[in-house]
Amino acid sequence: MQLLLALLALAYVAASDSSSQWCYEIQTKQPNSHCLGPQQWTGNCKGENQSPINLIIAKARVNYSLTPFTFVGYNQMKRWTVKNNHHTVMMSLEGEGMCIFGGDLPGRYEATQLHLHWSEEQNRGSEHTIDGKRFDMEMHIVHKKMASGNEVQDSHKLAVLAFMVQVGEKMNEGFQPLIEALPSISKPNSNTALKESRLQDMLPSNEKLYYYFRYQGSLTTPNCDETVIWTVFKEPIKIHKDQFLEFSKNLYYDEDKKLNMKGNVRPLQHLGRRQVFRSHASGRLLFLPLPALLVLTLTHLVASFLQ
Ligand SMILES: *[C@@H]1O[C@H](CO)[C@@H](O)[C@H](O)[C@H]1NC(C)=O
Ligand SMILES: [Zn+2]
C-alpha cells in the first residue's frame, strides 16, 4: 500500500514537472527552460480552425444578422476575485448571473472569466490583428453556452468577446481596481479580491460595440479546442501608459520572480477556408459623402419597392 502511494506521488510529481508544461515563446528562451512553446503545443493546436488570426476589413463580409449584443448583469458591483494562473491574470465571473445574447449567437452565453494578453513594448501585445495592426493588449471575456434543452454543437460551446486595448495619455478609472490588485498576485497561483467594481466600466460604451468581427475559431491556449464563436470589437479600450506598464512590472510567470509576465501572445494562425464576417456598423453611413449617401438611399428605396 505504502509503495503504491509512493509511486502515485512520484507519478504526480512527474506530471506536474515544468518540462511537460505549455508556455509562450518568451519563456522558452529562458536558460534551462524545458517548457513547450507555441510550435510544440499539442491537443487540437494543429487544427484547421485556430485562433488568433489577422482580420482583414476589406475581406470581411458584412452580415446583417450581426446585431448589437445585450449585456445582462455587467453593471453589478462586486468584489471580483483575480488570480495569477501562470499564463495571465484572470478574473472569475462564473455563477454571478452575467450573460450575453444577441449578436447572432445561438442562445444565451454565461460569462465565466476575463483575462488579458500583453507585451512589454507597445503594439506587440494583442493576439488578433486588424489589417495587420497589432494593438498593445487584448482582453478576452469567455462565455459558455447556457443549457437550453437542445444539444449544443461543439463549435458553439463558447463565445469569447475580444477587446483591443490601446495605450494613451488618459487614465481609465474602470481599469484601476484591477491594476491596483496586481502587486498582490505577483506569483503564480496567488489570488486576491478587487475593491468593488463593475465589469461594464472596463468596456467601451455600448453604442461603440456595434462594429465587430465574427468568425469560428479556437481557444488560444492548449488544448486549443475549436469550440469558440469569436467576436472581436473594432473599438479599442483605452488605458494610460502607466496602467499598461503595471501588468508586466508586477506579474511574474514563475515562483522565483525571474521572468516578468509579458508576451503571453499566441502567434497568428491561418484563416484557411473560413469566412470572417463583420457587423453592419450603422454609424459608418454618416462618414460617407452626401452623393454616395443619396445613391445608397435610392438603391435601398428601389430595392424595397421591387420586393
Ligand atoms: C451571417 O453570419 C452567420 C454567422 O454568424 C452565418 O452563419 C451566415 O451564413 C451569415 N450570412 C450571410 C448572408 O453571410
Ligand atoms: Zn485569451
- Nearest-CA residue for atom 9 of ligand 1: 63
Best probe residue, ligand 1, of 63, 69, 274 (max atoms within 8 Å of C-beta): 63
3-state class of 202 per DSSP?
Answer: helix
Q: Quick one: fold of 48-298?
A: Carbonic Anhydrase II (3.10.200)
**13: pLDDT confidence band, cut at 50, 70 and 90?**
very low
Instruction: Give the atom of ligand 1 at the shortest distance from the alpha carbon of 66.
Output: 5
pLDDT of residue 299: 54
**150: pLDDT confidence band, cut at 50, 70 and 90?**
confident
Residues 6 or more apart from 133 whose CB is under 8 A from it? 123
pLDDT of residue 14: 43
Query: Above 50 in pLDDT, residue 76?
Result: yes
- The average pLDDT across 180-207 equals 97
- The average pLDDT across 119-132 equals 93
Rounded distance from Cα 149 to ligand 2 centre (Å)? 29
The verdict on whether 240 is a catalytic residue reads no
Residues 6 or more apart from 25 whose CB is under 8 A from it? 37, 38, 263, 267
- Confirm if 262 and 118 have CB atoms less than 8 A apart: yes
Measuring from each residue's beta carbon to the nearest atom of ligand 1, which residues come in under 6 Å?
A: 61, 63, 65, 104, 214, 277
- The average pLDDT across 128-148 equals 96
Domain residue extents for the chain: 1-37, 48-298
CA 71, 124, 272, 23 torsion: positive or negative? negative
Across the chain, what does the average pLDDT equal?
90
pLDDT of residue 93: 97
Query: Above 80 in pLDDT, residue 1?
Result: no
Instruction: Give the atom of ligand 1 at the shortest distance from the alpha carbon of 277.
Output: 2
Instruction: Give the atom of ligand 1 at the shortest distance from the alpha carbon of 64.
Output: 1
CA 113 – CA 94 distance, rounded (Å)? 7
CA 300 – CA 64 distance, rounded (Å)? 14
- Confirm if 136 and 165 have CB atoms less than 8 A apart: yes
- Nearest-CA residue for atom 5 of ligand 1: 104
> Which residue among the candidates 86, 87, 115, 128 is catalytic per the annotation?
87
φ and ψ of 22, to 5 deg: -80, 155
DSSP 8-state secondary structure symbol assigned to residue 75: T
